[in-house]
Amino acid sequence: MKGNDTSRGFDAGNAWNTSRVISTIDKGIKFLRLGIMILMKATRQVPLRFDDAFFQDYAGNLILDPKVAMVELVANCWDAGAKRVDITWPNSIGGYFEILDNGIGMIKNEFETYWSTFNYNRRISQGSMTEIPDMPLKRRVYGKNGKGRHSLFCFSDSYNVETCKDGNKIQYLVNKLSNNQNPYEIISVGESPHLGHGTKISCNIKNNYIPIEEIENLIGSKFIADPLFEIYLNKIRVNLIDFLKDAQKITYEIPNEGTIIINVIESPRGRLSTLGGVAWWVNKRLVGEHSWRDFDDTYLDGRSTPSRKYTIIIEADILENEVLQDWTWFKDTKRSKEIRHSINEFILKTIQDLMKDIRSESKIQILKKYKPQLKEMSTFSRNLVGNFINEVQMRCPSINQIHLDHTVEIFTKMEQNRTGYDLLQQIAQLDETEIDTLADLLKRWSVNEAKIVLSELEWRLELIEKMDKMIKDPRADELHDLHPLFERGLWIFGPEYESKEFTSNKTLKTIIKGKYKSKVMGNENKRPDIVVFDDKSSINIFSNEKYDNNAEVCGYDKILILELKRSKSAIDDDDARQAEDYALIIKRSGNVNDFTNIICYVLGKIVKTDERTTGTSIKLIPRSYDIVLRQAHARTFNLIKKIKEIKDIKDEQDTEVKAVLAEKEISDY
């Protein structure tokens, strides 16, 4: 019994202890819940809200400008691979608007992903090409950031979307919200089986109504590039071909091929740069894609404002047999390349003409910056700066203003350092007899003929000046610096070397290389036309042809060996004998006739040997660089100044340079 009582007493005590534990746990849970509630209140997330102005900042003109909105909506149909677009446009505000396309459409998951994602990157997610339903073709898309789908908010705060794909049709209502946690909402309306593919977006026009004529002109000017992209406005096809009637038509004749028509269309608005460009049509069908990218970026930069204004359509039916089977581009044949290159060159000139006023304004802005430097230049140098800007603008149409500015700055500094006119003032004067003779000659010249002579003289004086600098520069390299100058200055050695027929002779240099293999330095990749020896001398060999009574080539008339020495302080007898050896090797090679004269000019710093003749046809002429330069000066004299005075030649001024210099500034007063 006592044992049983003890047992019951123990059980009761355990029950009491258990009850206290449970009570304690309950209190702990209550305190924990209270703590969690306090913590939740302390860390409550503040909801975000979107103001009414959000869409204006986010989408800009897409929802503010009805013309921009319409272009975007039609461009979305293009991106969907549609071949046909049907637009229903009301006669007044409040009426029903609908845009329907037969593109690829969307399934439920695609639509909800595209429409619910801000800044949806279409090209990353879907690629830059889209399929064209029922055709083995693909098309490059316009869309990039997914903002175009909001364009319907330009006309209404609410619109409907119906889209069909893979045998199913889905319907949604999209509402723009005000001062809400979301800028808009997407409500699923229904889903049902449906054959076909495409998308329809519709609403009642409540804002930004524009007349139907403006819609037609806008669509026609923007989507004319592909005649197979059909657009119907209120059930009437917008005949894109008709818009070519207002284009600037240019007929371009390609010799031995035929005629092509080039249509230049200036769009009234330039919102989408990708809609401009050059389109190639063959039999009224687009080949490839229209863009500015053709032929190594010689067209406009597609990002620039002017490029957005123009669409150029080339009707090139003569290339019918050169089109690839899938119409993605032309065949890589010689004929195709030649025709397209010819057309491309003409197109480039056409674009340059269109851009003439824009280039002139850009040029004037740069010239104003360098007006102080222009004032210090001669008219000739000013014109060079002006012509240089023209060339850069025409050859590099996509160059921006900053890069053009830097380029002009460098060229202007170079032109300021020219010493050509200073050099002319130092040239020796002709005596009275020579002046009279020159005057008689000039009476028979036209001004244009005199200008040609002046240009040639100016070029030669510049060459002499460069030679003078290089010869005096101890760092000058005879291979890369001196030889090219003397190759252009063979006229210095006598009038017989003026002929363009007097050219570098590879065959004779090969003979010399073969004879002096052990002494020839390797320079095949630098100047293979020059033989470089390990004694720091180098030679170049020139020749002209001799003709018989039947005007047939019968050998070499004259050979000129030009040897330049830099390392030795003087040209001595050993150098002279070495040059004679070159001539004898050529004589004995069997490649020249007995009547061929070989002249060896050996040039160096100082001459310590005499001219000599070997046999009847080899002549050695050692010359110091100083004497060569004096000889060059003697062959030019101050003829530029005298010809200008006698022929009354006026320096024509660059138009934009003249305009900038004519502007008066405070410093001018």
Lowest mean per-residue pLDDT among 252-266, 387-401, 437-451, 654-668: 437-451
The reported pLDDT for the residue numbered 79 is: 86
φ, ψ of residue 265 to 5 degrees: the values are -115, 125
As a whole number of angstroms, the distance between CA 181 and CA 183 comes to 7
> Using 50, 70 and 90 to split pLDDT, how confident is the model at 85?
very high
Give whole-number Cα distances, 603 to 165, 357, 576, 607, 615, in Å.
84, 53, 10, 8, 22
As a whole number of angstroms, the distance between CA 483 and CA 488 comes to 9
At how many degrees (to 10) do helices 639-647 and 447-472 cross? 160
Q: Write down the number of H helices and E strands in the chain.
A: 22, 22
Under DSSP, the state recorded for 150 is: G
Longest CA pairwise span in the chain (Å): 164
The reported pLDDT for the residue numbered 94 is: 93
**What CATH fold (topology level) applies to the domain 54-210?**
Heat Shock Protein 90 (3.30.565)
Nearest partner of 254 among 343, 351, 348, judged by Cα: 343
As a whole number of angstroms, the distance between CA 411 and CA 400 comes to 17
CB 230 within 8 A of CB 218: no
Per residue in 228-264, pLDDT (tens digit) is 788 999 998 887 666 677 778 899 999 999 999 998 8
Per domain, the residue ranges of the chain are: 54-210, 245-331, 477-634
Residue 142 in this model has a pLDDT that exceeds 50: yes
Nearest partner of 267 among 354, 145, 150, 141, judged by Cα: 354
The reported pLDDT for the residue numbered 454 is: 61
The reported pLDDT for the residue numbered 419 is: 39
* Bridge partners, residue 378, by sequence: none
The reported pLDDT for the residue numbered 172 is: 95
Helix (H, G, I), strand (E, B) or coil at 567: coil
> Using 50, 70 and 90 to split pLDDT, how confident is the model at 18?
low
Q: What's the first-to-final CA gap in the chain, in angstroms? A: 135
Residue 593 in this model has a pLDDT that exceeds 50: yes
As a whole number of angstroms, the distance between CA 258 and CA 281 comes to 15
The reported pLDDT for the residue numbered 420 is: 38
Sign of the torsion angle spanned by Cα atoms 231, 237, 238, 239: positive
φ, ψ of residue 584 to 5 degrees: the values are -65, -40
Lowest mean per-residue pLDDT among 126-130, 142-146, 344-348: 142-146
* Bridge partners, residue 96, by sequence: 204
CB 420 within 8 A of CB 443: no
DSSP letter for each residue of 505-548:
-HHHHHHHHHHTTTTBPP-TTT-TTSEEBTTSEEEEEEEEEEE-
* Bridge partners, residue 518, by sequence: none
DSSP letter for each residue of 441-453:
HHHT--HHHHHHH
CB 660 within 8 A of CB 367: yes
Burial classification of residue 62, based on how many CB atoms lie within 10 Å of its CB (0-12 exposed, 13-18 middle, 19 or more buried): buried
As a whole number of angstroms, the distance between CA 442 and CA 642 comes to 10
φ, ψ of residue 329 to 5 degrees: the values are -175, -170
Per residue in 188-197, pLDDT (tens digit) is 999 999 988 9
As a whole number of angstroms, the distance between CA 573 and CA 203 comes to 101
What is the pairing mode between strands 96-101 and 84-88? antiparallel
Burial classification of residue 17, based on how many CB atoms lie within 10 Å of its CB (0-12 exposed, 13-18 middle, 19 or more buried): exposed
Arithmetic mean of pLDDT over the chain: 77
The reported pLDDT for the residue numbered 10 is: 41
Residue 580 in this model has a pLDDT that exceeds 50: yes
How large a percentage of the chain has pLDDT more than 70? Answer: 73
> Using 50, 70 and 90 to split pLDDT, how confident is the model at 158?
very high
The reported pLDDT for the residue numbered 168 is: 94
DSSP letter for each residue of 277-328:
EEEEEETTEEEEEEES-HHHHTS--TTSTGGGTEEEEEE-GGGGGGB-TTSS
Lay out the sheet containing 258-266: strands in order across. Answer: 248-254, 258-266, 310-315, 277-282, 285-291
Q: Which of 81-95, 511-525, 563-577 has the highest mean pLDDT?
A: 81-95
Helix (H, G, I), strand (E, B) or coil at 104: coil
Per residue in 38-79, pLDDT (tens digit) is 665 555 667 777 777 787 788 888 888 898 888 889 888 988
Residue found under tokens 């409907």: 160
Residue 363 in this model has a pLDDT that exceeds 50: yes
> Using 50, 70 and 90 to split pLDDT, how confident is the model at 268?
low
φ, ψ of residue 291 to 5 degrees: the values are -165, 180
Residue 95 in this model has a pLDDT that exceeds 90: yes
The reported pLDDT for the residue numbered 269 is: 47
Helix (H, G, I), strand (E, B) or coil at 482: helix
As a whole number of angstroms, the distance between CA 290 and CA 227 comes to 12
What is the pairing mode between strands 553-565 and 597-604? parallel
As a whole number of angstroms, the distance between CA 229 and CA 240 comes to 9
As a whole number of angstroms, the distance between CA 431 and CA 419 comes to 25
The reported pLDDT for the residue numbered 48 is: 74
Per residue in 274-325, pLDDT (tens digit) is 456 788 888 777 787 777 666 444 445 444 545 566 778 898 999 989 988 7
> Using 50, 70 and 90 to split pLDDT, how confident is the model at 4?
very low
